[in-house]
Structure 1
Amino acid sequence: MKHISKILCLLLLGLTTVSYGQKKSKKNAAPPVQQTQAAKPEKKSPFKKYSDIVTSDAVTDEGLFKVHSVGEKFYYEIPFDLLNTDMLLVSRISKIAAGLGGGYMNAGSKTNEQVIRWSRVNNDIHLRSISFTNVANDSLPIQLSVSANNYDPILAAFSIEAFNQDSTAVLIEISDLFLSDNPALSGLSENMRREYKVRNLDRKRSFISRMASFPENIEVRHDMTYNATDPPSNSRTGTISMEMSQSMYLLPEVPMQPRLYDQRVGWFTIRQIDYGSEALKSDVKTYIRRWRLEPKDPEAYARGELVEPVKPIVYYLDPATPAKWRPYFRQGIEDWQQAFEAAGFKNAIIAKDAPTKEEDPDWSPEDARYSTVRYVASTTRNAVGPSVSDPRSGEIIESDIIWYHNHLRSYRNRYMLETGAANPSARTLDTPEEEIGEMMRRVISHEVGHALGLPHNMKASYSYPTDSLRSATFTQKWGLAATIMDYTRYNYVAQPGDEGVRWVRMLGPYDEYAINWGYRYIPNANSAEDEKAILNSWIREKAGDPVYLFGGGNSYDPSSQTESVGDDPVKASRYGLANLKIVAPNLAKWTAKPGENYADLAELYGELIGVWTRFAGHVVTNVGGVYEELKTTDQPGVIYTPISKASQMDAMKFLVEDVFTTPDWLLQKEILDNIEPSGAVEGIGSMQSRLLASLLRKDRLDRMIENEAMNGSEAYTLTAMLSDLRKGLWSEVSSSRNIDAFRRNLQRAHVERLAELMKQDERNRSDISAAVRAELKSIQSLAKTGSSRYAPCIIQYHLRDIDALIESMLSAE
């Protein structure tokens, strides 16, 4: 049996071998794989081949990253050596829906800026928004806690699609970042979304229109279309569309050495909380925002020679700027060269025309490498000077100054109203081109000042004696204020006959001082702290000179007011009022054009009332006012000093006689009969009521109470002020004189404001309640006895109504 079995096995083996041999011959197959152990399948890679994505159809642009567009998909090719590198992402609206933002947004408006980093986590690339608000040196142990307690948010995550050919970069599809409604990149704020009732982003109507890579930045343009119930324009469409610009800019590997801020010299700032400081607290470090200017020739600079900077500040003029205004825009930019020369630099700031499409087809005003002056076709009457800065150091990276077309109208109107009495060339709607150009030049200079890091300095106008502004020699040399950064637009002090005076503002000595303080290169200082002593010494050198003081403007300091001129607000407003009394009766003639309607006259008349309100407001600030002079502990004197009693009383006299008395000079019949059927009583009444409410602000009265408590008889007291006001506003009653409609409105406003003060004071009752109650009773007594002196008429009815109104107020308390 064993023998038979062996024979059968051999036969079967032979059959099998023959069969396999026939199969191989028939199929021409390879030798058989051993079947003794099953082969393991290869693990599939999660990544695609680079060539399968970046095909021959791809459009590639090389720069900071390679960017690829393949059909409707867009890719970033991010080099590994740029992972975890600081970049600045700036979001702007490059094309805007009409009316979006209420007129104060435009093509070019910045909506966000943030430092970002790309990082790899396993098979993903993360995009984080990085904050430098809380910091500590990397070498310190506390940095571990700072990092743990300030975890940076992830804006987006992307799967790695592939690696490039030499595995030095990763490929990610970037489309979703720009086609999803990411708030960090959006042009719509939360307030806008609520106002316009935005429901959602419509992905089907959103797309990427451009993606370009440059050596230091990547520029993306993408359209975003939102469904909205109440859009700002084209309401029937239910749609808001805008084109966004995203500029991703590589920040310097080594941040600029920051410069510590000093409140005595005005600068825009960045703020960091340094947990690694030796101070026994988390130490707030505030640094100024400024461009990085370093001398090309440090040795020549050290010898005191003027030296060009390694990288000057360059502004390009928008191609949309009308040709006739371009010379003035260039002058406005390059006027700052003189200030930079005070800091040791020549040709530090330069104006250029933007290149043509033929010269540079890729040039774009939204490109983060270029700083521009944009000319915006808009009815908005304004100009702004924003900038983008590195939050690590305060270094300004770029800026875009914006001039709104209709701002021309503002300056033409104010020129007529504020200087027309003494300046014949201002008495027309067709202001000479050269003079409009000079105004535009100075506006651009002002906005460039902001872009250089300088905020408003409202104390600069107070540094010049008021009467000096009537002098041609003084104003032509020194201008109207110590800096262009004040809001001293025009010389409204100069009177008819003051020949040769300067009418329009210009740069002044404070501008050179501030630029030197912020931009002078200090070669031997290796840290911000090393610079502090010399920066302080520069301030101490100018101590006591009002030309070099800084004040950002507030509600209590009459030496730091917006739109004010000269060091005596009461005297300046008297001069201004005298000029307006000449302008008012001539306004109809100066604005008349044959065949035209009265729209310009109506506009100018409304602005005339506004100008007078500002003049009066400057005087109001003197009452209960306090001078503020910023100091450090090593300087003599105090920071806060109450206004003298005499000055406050003079201000009050002016208000009673020239503000709260009916301004008959404003009631020009030729104007009013041509611009409106009624409204003069309401318009004048509104102006007077606003000024009265400002005079009777609780914080002002609180300061007067404190001044009396600290200085006794040297103070202008609250009760004295209220008494002077009452005697002025109700002077007609005791002598039975006519009380006109304007005065009756003001008297009602007086009673209502006093009652409002009692309500504001009821939670923490102070002397205000006692003084106001006494005033209301005195007015009630005047009204009660005075009404009997008048025959039945509106005046008697008015006084009886005042009596009843006060009675109800006091009874209800």
Structure 2
Amino acid sequence: MKRLLLVALICSMAIPSEATAQRRKSKRNKKNQTTQTNKPKPKKKNGYASIVNKNTKTDKGLFDVHETKGKYYYEIPDSFLGTEMLLVTRLKEIPGGLGGGYVNAGSKVNTQVVVWEKFKNKLLLKVRSYNAVADDSLPIYKSVKANNLEPIIYAFPIKTVNKDSTATLVDVTKFFSSDVKAITGIPASFRRRYKVRRLDASRSFINSIKSYPKNIEVVQDFTFDADTPPSNRSSNTITVRVNQSMILLPEKPMMPRLFDARVGYFTVGTVDYNSEKLKADSKRYIRRWRLEPKDPAAYARGELVEPVKPIVYYLDPATPEKLRKYIKQGVDDWQKVFETAGFKNAIMAKYPPTKEEDPEFSPEDIRYSVIRYVASTTRNAVGPSVSDPRSGEIIESDIIWYHNHLRSYRNRYLLETGAANPSARTLDTPDKEIGDMMRMVIAHEVGHALGLPHNMAASYAYPVDSLRSGPFTQKYGIAASIMDYARYNYIAQPGDKGIRFIRQLGPYDHYSINWGYRVIPNATTPEDEVKTLDKWIAAKADDPKYLFGVQRRGAFDPASQTEGIGNDQVKASTYGVKNLKYVAQNLSKWTSDQTNNYGDLNELYGELLGVWSRYAGHVTGNIGGIYERNKKPEQNGDVYVNVSKTKQKESMNWLQKNVFTTQKWLMPKNILKNINHTGYAQRMLRLQNRQLYSLLSGGRLERMMNAETTETNYYSAVDMVRDLRRGIFSETAGQRNVDVFRRNLQKSFIERMGTLMTTRGAQNSDLVSIVRGELNVLKSQLRTASNRAVNRITKYHYRDGVARIDAILDPKK
């Protein structure tokens, strides 16, 4: 019995009662419930079906683009992660006056190579640079990557994946409706200029997103608060419509062609760390379209072959009907040029397709190259393009024609050819001639879009007197290339027969397209091509028709100046001025007498002064000029050659006679007294100062001082300044009054000399010595001349000149 009681007691202690167990269980449940309540609830996953469903609008293409509940999503296949694409930002529609008239609908704002990369729970859009490259199999590749970190434009949270997990969905709404600087339509310079404060999100939105097989086009409307907008000032608002094109770059880049400075091409560049030399190679590749022959065997045999993919330009639907044929001709004129490179039907223009022909056609779509017709008062045309930075392959280009540009050509046609060309002596230029001008402007801009920069040496290729020959000008034009700024034949004189007055494509254009576009058989690397390319250059090296001259600001090569024609600037400008005198005498008769209005006369007179100034500037370029002829060491002759002393002194004499002596023919009373009440003397001074300041510029004088180190017979800086002083102050040699124009010019000479005294670096060169010496000589001249001056104002003027020189030479007095 005792044993049974003991067992029962042990059991009662070991096994809790049901009530006790229930209480403990209740406590545990309560504890668990408390713990679960304190834990954050897991976020509900945003599944594919919640984004893409029957209510979703889907546009299939490069990426599938989904629009649902006011948001846009990209469905990016994993196969495209790391794939290089080109992101091009353009202005689709703009407010009036944006950029001062040289920005238009269709203008490119930014171009960048981008890649999509996955990082944790985000998808990154990164910019990839080709400023430095190395093969990923080499150890140095790691250093190139480490020292060229790619910027992240945007980090997109991953929303979900598609049903088979082969693509990632991201919401791009915020990216395209926010002020992301990398894709903005208002760059930093505009923000400063127009005092842009912020993007107003309530007035900014995505207009549309369309996906095509190789590209995606996004149209955004951005509205910014701005204190000084370019138009509609009272609104304090700038609204721009921006187009973003994301295009798939070729999986296999086109084989590049190495740039050679002896043939003009736009370029892309990189620093190549693959080299085994003691430094990295800086490489530049020409920019060109990918033209590949359909029949390589026939091409290799020298037959004309069509390209696999021709270059096609579409005309803007906004182009006036009567101008379309001229624009088309300006493109099609290049077909003959490409035949020189072995291709037929390589380039063509097409009229804009109708909605039925191509419902997806859009000038902003990067699949289409378009010649855009812009409603703008700007007088210009441009030929930009978009290229693959890996190879230089041109992907697309939009040529821009501004509506008012033909007015400039009409005016210049009248002014530069009116003396020898009766059909130019009117404000109503014949349609055929206007059309021919437009055709050649388009051809020029197409040249840019093909990769060709300006070739300013082309206008120096022909002898001056050849440009007075009808047969010569009809065959060769007025310059060796359409890519020069040689618009009209201003050399031909009254009585010359059969002259071509308007520019045209020339022999250099055939040569440069052949050099850049002809496929070289059996070449598998850019380096393999160099030997053949060099042979092509060597074959033409001694012929001026095939020389290339760089356009540069502050040009030092007189053979590569803008707006000139002929190989002798003194002779050409003499002919040009002679013609211009005839035009000045008849300008009223050809304009205001016909219209009973002075508006056109005023406009054309102002441009006439500009034409005269250009002719003078061409001659000024000879003084201190240095010819530049890019060469390889295997070629004969030097790269840089000074203009002869004889030519420089001849040019100085011409300037004294035709610029610094008062050109009274430039100020006919019947014009001046009907277009302005005052300002005649100051207007002439501005024109003379342009040449005076150019002659007395630090760069020109430095070149002339350096000639002492390489030449034995040279026109020295001290001789030039002396000759300039003697000519401008020639009245001091006798008892002659100085008219107001010359008094102003002489004051300008003294002032400019004073400026040279403080030019940076002048104290450690001969420049200060020359200036001080010439001013002292002039001071003595003026003192003597003031004692025998005929009239009072001349006497006062000379005394004032002495005081001005004293202030320069001894400013502490």
Please say whether Structure 1 and Structure 2 have the same fold, judged by a TM-score greater than 0.5.
yes
Distance 1:592 1:59 in 2: 62
Distance 2:626 2:210 in 1: 56
1:482 equivalent in structure 2: 480
2:538 equivalent in structure 1: 540
Distance 2:246 2:782 in 1: 70
2:320 equivalent in structure 1: 322
1:370 equivalent in structure 2: 368
2:25 equivalent in structure 1: none
**For the Cα contact (< 8 Å) 1:196–1:231, is it kept in 2?**
yes
1:532/1:571 CA distance change after superposition, 3 Å: same
Secondary structure of residue in 1 paired with 2:181: coil
Secondary structure of residue in 1 paired with 2:558: coil
User: Could you tell me which of 58, 66, 69 is aligned with 2:67?
Assistant: 69
Q: State how 1:226-265 maps to structure 2 within 5 Å.
A: 226-265=224-263
Q: Is residue 466 of structure 1 aligned with residue 448 of structure 2? A: no
Q: Is residue 631 of structure 1 aligned with residue 631 of structure 2? A: yes
2:579 equivalent in structure 1: 579
The alpha carbon displacement at 1:720 in A equals 2.1
Tell which deviates more after alignment, 766-775 or 795-804. 766-775
Q: Is residue 655 of structure 1 aligned with residue 655 of structure 2? A: yes
- Amino acid corresponding to residue 367 of structure 1 in structure 2: D
1:186 equivalent in structure 2: 184
- Amino acid corresponding to residue 311 of structure 2 in structure 1: I
User: Could you tell me which of 213, 216, 219 is aligned with 1:218?
Assistant: 216
Q: Is residue 702 of structure 1 aligned with residue 708 of structure 2? A: no
Give the TM-score of the pair, scaled to structure 2. Answer: 0.94
**CA offset digits 1:111-143 (Å, max 9, x no partner):** 000000011111111000110110001111110
User: Could you tell me which of 129, 132, 138 is aligned with 1:131?
Assistant: 129
The alpha carbon displacement at 1:717 in A equals 2.0
Secondary structure of residue in 2 paired with 1:92: strand
Secondary structure of residue in 1 paired with 2:758: helix
**For the Cα contact (< 8 Å) 1:125–1:159, is it kept in 2?**
yes
Give the TM-score of the pair, scaled to structure 1. Answer: 0.94
Q: Is residue 797 of structure 1 aligned with residue 796 of structure 2? A: yes
**For the Cα contact (< 8 Å) 1:761–1:769, is it kept in 2?**
no
**For the Cα contact (< 8 Å) 1:461–1:482, is it kept in 2?**
yes
1:680 equivalent in structure 2: 680
- Amino acid corresponding to residue 303 of structure 1 in structure 2: R
Q: Is residue 306 of structure 1 aligned with residue 304 of structure 2? A: yes
**For the Cα contact (< 8 Å) 1:334–1:349, is it kept in 2?**
yes
Distance 2:762 2:473 in 1: 51
1:416 equivalent in structure 2: 414
The alpha carbon displacement at 1:718 in A equals 2.1
Secondary structure of residue in 2 paired with 1:757: helix
The alpha carbon displacement at 1:723 in A equals 2.2
The alpha carbon displacement at 1:98 in A equals 1.0
2:154 equivalent in structure 1: 156
% of aligned pairs identical?
A: 57
Q: State how 1:613-624 maps to structure 2 within 5 Å.
A: 613-624=613-624
**CA offset digits 1:248-268 (Å, max 9, x no partner):** 000000000000000000000
Distance 1:247 1:764 in 2: 54
2:340 equivalent in structure 1: 342
- Amino acid corresponding to residue 314 of structure 2 in structure 1: Y
- Amino acid corresponding to residue 718 of structure 1 in structure 2: A
1:727 equivalent in structure 2: 726
2:669 equivalent in structure 1: 669
2:491 equivalent in structure 1: 493
**For the Cα contact (< 8 Å) 1:761–1:768, is it kept in 2?**
no
- Amino acid corresponding to residue 681 of structure 1 in structure 2: A
Distance 1:462 1:145 in 2: 48
User: Could you tell me which of 540, 550, 553 is aligned with 2:551?
Assistant: 553
**For the Cα contact (< 8 Å) 1:708–1:716, is it kept in 2?**
no
Q: State how 1:13-24 maps to structure 2 within 5 Å.
A: none
Secondary structure of residue in 2 paired with 1:431: coil
The alpha carbon displacement at 1:594 in A equals 5.7
1:530 equivalent in structure 2: 528
Secondary structure of residue in 2 paired with 1:760: coil
Distance 2:588 2:621 in 1: 32
Distance 1:544 1:572 in 2: 23
- Amino acid corresponding to residue 368 of structure 1 in structure 2: I
Distance 1:39 1:557 in 2: 84
1:748 equivalent in structure 2: 747
1:100 equivalent in structure 2: 98
The alpha carbon displacement at 1:706 in A equals 2.1
Distance 1:360 1:715 in 2: 66
Secondary structure of residue in 1 paired with 2:721: helix
**CA offset digits 1:282-327 (Å, max 9, x no partner):** 1101100000000000000001000000000000000001111111
- Amino acid corresponding to residue 371 of structure 1 in structure 2: S
Secondary structure of residue in 2 paired with 1:184: helix
The alpha carbon displacement at 1:361 in A equals 2.3
The alpha carbon displacement at 1:4 in A equals 12
The alpha carbon displacement at 1:645 in A equals 1.2
Distance 1:552 1:762 in 2: 27
Distance 1:381 1:328 in 2: 18
**CA offset digits 1:747-776 (Å, max 9, x no partner):** 101111111112216654322222221211
- Amino acid corresponding to residue 784 of structure 1 in structure 2: R
- Amino acid corresponding to residue 228 of structure 1 in structure 2: A
Secondary structure of residue in 2 paired with 1:249: strand
Q: Which runs of 5+ in 1 are unaligned?
A: 18-34
**For the Cα contact (< 8 Å) 2:756–2:762, is it kept in 1?**
no
- Amino acid corresponding to residue 232 of structure 2 in structure 1: N
The alpha carbon displacement at 1:71 in A equals 2.5
User: Could you tell me which of 443, 446, 467 is aligned with 1:445?
Assistant: 443
1:738 equivalent in structure 2: 737
Secondary structure of residue in 1 paired with 2:779: helix
Q: Is residue 58 of structure 1 aligned with residue 56 of structure 2? A: yes
Distance 1:158 1:329 in 2: 44
**CA offset digits 1:482-513 (Å, max 9, x no partner):** 10000000000001011111101111011011
Secondary structure of residue in 1 paired with 2:688: helix
The alpha carbon displacement at 1:711 in A equals 2.2
**For the Cα contact (< 8 Å) 1:420–1:427, is it kept in 2?**
yes
The alpha carbon displacement at 1:280 in A equals 1.3
Distance 1:307 1:391 in 2: 28
1:773 equivalent in structure 2: 772
2:27 equivalent in structure 1: none
1:743/1:50 CA distance change after superposition, 3 Å: same
The alpha carbon displacement at 1:578 in A equals 0.2
**For the Cα contact (< 8 Å) 2:737–2:790, is it kept in 1?**
no
Secondary structure of residue in 2 paired with 1:253: coil
2:757 equivalent in structure 1: 758
Q: Is residue 811 of structure 1 aligned with residue 810 of structure 2? A: yes
**For the Cα contact (< 8 Å) 1:47–1:160, is it kept in 2?**
no
Q: State how 1:376-395 maps to structure 2 within 5 Å.
A: 376-395=374-393
The alpha carbon displacement at 1:47 in A equals 3.9
**CA offset digits 1:8-54 (Å, max 9, x no partner):** x99x989x99xxxxxxxxxxxxxxxxx9xx99999957741111112
